[in-house]
A and B are shown apart, each in its own frame.
Chain A
């Protein structure tokens, strides 16, 4: 069906949206025009700052990104980063309870936060004349959060309701969670962002405040501000409120590298009433992976576009139109993840058809990609869409801030955004064939098949 991705992106009607799936969407919407006015700086205490001017409307969006996510958690303590994100709305000494949210709302602003495997981010979007209020409030809760038992007791119940709503009662999300848990033996991407219910049941207030002390400080954060701003004035505001913040002791992150896989993992699960559904995950590199050349990541991005971007993409054309075995099909790959991610393909099986029908057709598609070169027309189709979306994205200041924050936090260098389009344009048919052959293979593959 058309337009699914957009729906998802705007669906975070309430707080604390777990960001797992949005990741996938970012791939082909990634680049933005960085030739626009942009400034990057770092404060002495290590706070990274990115400012970008967009004066179309008298509004501004201010994001703070912490490099802390579910990938930093350990067994038995899953869901900590996300739970902390919820507790961040419980107030400080200076701004107790919900005063933060109340002030932003009164100023006509909106605010939200999201947690992913790699990061936790908070943002306010509001009329630009009130930017100082947002900076003041956000800087306060970087170091002065009050984690109180009575707040925690209630909030952990809210989080469990969130888990029931977004995962336990959503068959496709259960399959997604099972995919990661089954694919990985050691990678920290194994566990769900929201945490296992079993871990949420034993989480304590002290777990939260320790996590907060360990990771929240200027030298583990990036402040991104996009909108109708003056660079000097904005920078002065940031110095005023963040300049005095003390560095936290930097934490060493343990590399939990994924050991080799010995064959394909095929897992069948049953979920009542859910029409048949398949989700595939192949272990592929992130742009951070030093052992592969970066063009492989761009070729994987193009491969995903070939499979699922637009009406003429291979999955739609073959699985839906020609073979009529699927009612919808999609793929996703995010090269901008901190650790090696999964290349995903998911398929809703057409009523009356079998999972095996899809498996056979999909295998033929993969065989073709591994053995035949794509035509220039097919490559150009994907590249044109990437180029156009680079322009379209400039329409949203929130989106621009998200890309900058995500890349800075997970990759460390925003130059990669600038180079994205030309790197995509440089991908050849041989390269796409090469990555299909190297990565879409049994010893990298996990398949969750729902209601066979």
Chain B
């Protein structure tokens, strides 16, 4: 069934617990043409997960918003010898799953397959062909453009999507992060086959890729596979002609209201936070975990849901990205109490900003995060995502080993400092989207 795909960052992919290293050996390999490969062997299930990650998210769209997503979605729509139906037929008859995804920073192309030879052979062969021989046919391009436009129109009837898109537009203004990866109707209409081919050539290539694999195969088999993948990728080393500008950390105070026909109002409050790798990333994570990042036990949830019955859910996140990521608080409530909720959230944030967490809250959060490590890598797909993250952000060798002690050492002062240095509470964007009753009097 169709469902809204809301722009929510997955908080869990932020840290790589040391558990991986403790119990799973990571094979570190570099292909002949220089692509970094990380592999974890997981023998119990006869399956393989491959994820190639590219620095080719929607921030590389340039003026043609939605280009990256279109290019990725068209990968399995035709090669020299095969049409879309024949391609799908190979994957479906072997039970393999081909998937692409595009976020604001990175993109990925993945395959999940059984490792039994008669299944793995054809699905891998097809996978490699798609990497090297995709034609992005015109007919399929125009169909995809139509379905994307329909999907954008669906979003325009969805209060969650409307408010989220508007918030990021106001927060990031001209920066590529301001735009939805899906694009907008005008930009989608302008995209031509040539644009897609160029995007692929300059962004989805060997100089821009890393590979993560989790499977029951042997090291030798995986190395062989990685070499084949790297050979299938475009060699063009020329850097993308699109480049992203650094966010100038110049947040602006904005108080906005957008009227729509809905029962509930959607509230977004936030500003800019940090880049991936910032020294404040860890304390900010722990601080936010306590404030609004730990679900039911967070301060926001306790106050607004448990104590007041105002909302089904309220949360916050400080998400580090390649460029400066956002700090976001989001909540939905009936319009009559939207403005009261906004005031309450501001009050709570100001208080947290000045006082930080209590000793008890901090101790609880550290225990929860440290104890909870094994849960974050309990499945092959979890591990795969972490490997791809290590690759993408080029994390240091000792990152995993030092992780627990880093969390353990965080003090209240660290949290207070990190919030002060990274989040400007006097310059937040506050957005309320809802019916007239939600408007400030």
Contact = CB atoms under 8 A, between A and B. Distances in A.
B381 to A, nearest CB: 6
Interface stretch (B201-209, B362-370, B398-406): B362-370
Contacts of B96: 388
B45 A395 contact: yes
Contacts of B154: 274-275, 327, 348
B309 A154 contact: yes
Interface in A33-68: 56-59
A161 B264 contact: yes
B47 A105 contact: no
A108 interface: yes
Given A106-B368, A108-B373, A161-B333, A327 B1 contact: no
Nearest to A25: B1
B262 to A, nearest CB: 5
B95 A388 contact: yes
B45 A394 contact: yes
Contacts of B95: 384-385, 387-389, 391
* Residue from B5, B156, B370, B371 having most chain A Cβ neighbours under 10 A: B371
B305 A108 contact: no
Nearest to A168: B263
A339 to B, nearest CB: 20
A102 interface: yes
Contacts of A377: 93
B338 to A, nearest CB: 12
Interface in A148-183: 153-162, 164-166, 168-172, 176
Given A108-B371, A165-B264, A328-B2, A320 B147 contact: yes
Interface string B84-117: 1100110111111101110000000000111000
Given A158-B305, A171-B157, A391-B114, A102 B297 contact: yes
Contacts of B46: 391
A346 interface: yes
Contacts of A105: 294-297, 364, 368
Contact of B312 (A165, A311, A389, A396): A165
A299 B264 CA distance: 42
Given A8-B1, A324-B143, A387-B95, A164 B334 contact: yes
A205 interface: no
B42 interface: yes
B3 interface: yes
Interface string A274-288: 110000000000000
A346 B1 CA distance: 7
* Residue from B92, B94, B156, B297 having most chain A Cβ neighbours under 10 A: B92
B274 to A, nearest CB: 23
B150 A57 contact: no
A327 B147 contact: yes
Nearest to A273: B157
Contacts of B295: 13-14, 105, 110
Interface of B: 1-5, 8, 23, 42, 44-47, 73, 76, 84-85, 88-89, 91-97, 99-101, 112-114, 119, 143, 146-147, 149-151, 153-154, 156-159, 261-264, 294-297, 302, 305-313, 315, 332-334, 364, 367-375, 377-381
12 contacts: A3-B101, A8-B1, A105-B295, A105-B296, A158-B312, A172-B3, A311-B76, A330-B2, A351-B153, A381-B89, A388-B94, A395-B47
